[in-house]
Amino acid sequence: MPNIIKLDGSVHNDEWQVVARPADGESLVVPEGPALVPVDLWLAGREHFADRSDIGVWFEGHDEPETLDGLVNELPLIAVNFPKFADGRGYSIARLLRERYGFRNELRAIGDVLLDQLQFMKRCGFDSFALREDKDPAKAARCLNFFSQNYQAATDNDTPLFRRRAS
């Protein structure tokens, strides 16, 4: 299981099981305990999950945050998968979930999550990171905090430097 890094750099065990997309013709099997299911399957079967407070969803890069309009805060956790660290779609998905759809609960980066991408993920609204298992979690805090300030607004700070300079 990967280590879960929080914004303060602390390291936690992963409680959440990521449920893979079932093969064609097979149905989704949801395990006991906290689980993340593909977002489109959650949407298709929302009523089945209504009595479970430990079910979240996970996004692929092509999944659209627009589909969760008005529903995001029914979910305790949303994960966004980075199939390869160089695939940057997850950054836009995260900002949209936070800034446009008002998601307030835990937003987690999963998949190919490395140390040098943490700073960008943090700025785009992720607050937990399933660090790839071969990476040293002790270095996460440093990599989250190379920069003490930034030029542009993002989820973590909606005031760009040009507005801070003016005041």
- Say if strands 3-6 and 11-12 run parallel, antiparallel, or are unpaired: antiparallel
Contact call for residue 153 and another protein (CB under 8 A): yes
For the chain, state the CA radius of gyration: 16
Could you tell me which of 10, 13, 40, 14 has the C-alpha nearest to residue 28?
Answer: 40
Query: Is 114 a binder of another protein (CB under 8 A)?
Result: yes
Q: What is the smallest separation between the CB atom of 166 and another protein, expressed in angstroms?
A: 5
Shortest gap between Cβ of 79 and another protein (angstroms)? 18
Site for another protein in 87-106 (CB under 8 A): 87-89, 91-93, 95, 100
Q: Is the distance from CB of 34 to CB of 19 less than 8 angstroms?
A: no
Q: Is 166 in the site for another protein (CB under 8 A)?
A: yes
Site for another protein in 23-62 (CB under 8 A): 61
